[in-house]
Amino acid sequence: MKKAIFLDRDGVINKDVGLLYKKKDVKILPNVIKALKKLKEKDYLIVVITNQPVIARGLITEKRLIELNNFLNSLIENLIDEFYFCPHHPNANLEIYRRICECRKPAPGLILRAAKDLDIDLTKSWMIGDMPSDIVSGKSAGLKTILIESEKNKKVIETGKKWDIEESDYKSKNLLDALKYIK
């Protein structure tokens, strides 16, 4: 079995610009390539786990989202092994995506699906994200977790109304900084 680092996308790999559906809005954060290379050297698979309500809103199709993810990956030397995304939303504009699913974070569905597909040992794997929903989904799947703290997520975390917040195992400033916790 393999070990993996599960990563949230926006706010961890690229700048969180809100609703991202255009290539020109993909801005890679500093030191991401360096961090991903270090994780590869430690034999971790890199798997992105991301909610994509932009699909449920009808701003982008699944096909285009896959193209956008591939574009993002090309900017970071294709260091990401797989992307898993949830296209659903309880209040989706598009009816086919309107439901309460098992894969939208904070649910752990995407992580569990990836673990099955890719033969990942969850007990040796980590979730790194910048939102409480990342931490909750990681913990629910049995992962060790690291919360990346930023100005953007500060409010969500402090008010804590939206999620039933569980504490992450560790906290860091960015992806490269998070590596100090990972053997």
Q: Which residues bind Zn ion (CB under 5 A)?
A: 86, 88, 101, 103-104
Q: Is 10 an active-site residue?
A: yes
Which CB sits closer to Zn ion, 86 or 128? 86
The least CB distance from residue 63 to Zn ion, in Å, is: 17
Sheet holding 144-148, edge to edge: 82-86, 44-51, 3-7, 126-129, 144-148, 170-172
Among the listed residues 10, 81, 121, 164, the single catalytic one is 10
CA 166 to chain centre: 17
Cβ neighbours for 74, distance < 8 A, ≥ 6 positions apart = none
Rounded Cα distance between 142 and 121, Å, is 10
Q: Which is nearer to Zn ion, 40 or 113 (CB)?
A: 113
**C-beta of 41 vs 91, nearer to Zn ion:** 91
Least Å from the CB of residue 109 to Zn ion: 7
What amino acid positions are annotated as catalytic residues? Answer: 8, 10
